Amino acid sequence: MIDKLNSARMERIRYIHALLGELRALAQAERCEMLTYMIEMAYIESNDIVHGQRPVEMKPSAVTSPKQGNSIG
C-alpha cells in the first residue's frame, strides 16, 4: 500500500517536473530572466527528487524560522 502511494507521488513529481520544463521554455522565450531562473531552480529540485538525490520532504529541524525583529514590513 505504501509503495503504491509512493509510486503515485513520484509520478506526480515527474509530471510537475515536465510542466516546469515547459514553463521554463516559455519564460525563457519571453526573456523573463528572473522568472526563468526561479522556474529552473524548481525544475532542478524536482529532478533531484525524482532521481533520489534529495528527499521529498525536509525534516522540521532542517527548516529554521526567521528570528523576531528581522521581518520586513
- Domain extent listing, the chain: 2-52
Gap between the terminal Cα atoms of the chain? 46
Q: Quick: pLDDT tens for 51-63.
A: 988 877 766 655 5
CA atoms of 50 and 64, how far apart (whole Å): 25
CA atoms of 39 and 5, how far apart (whole Å): 26
Confidence band for 6, pLDDT divided at 50, 70 and 90: confident
Q: Quick: pLDDT tens for 8-62.
A: 999 999 999 999 999 999 999 999 999 999 999 999 999 999 998 887 776 665 5
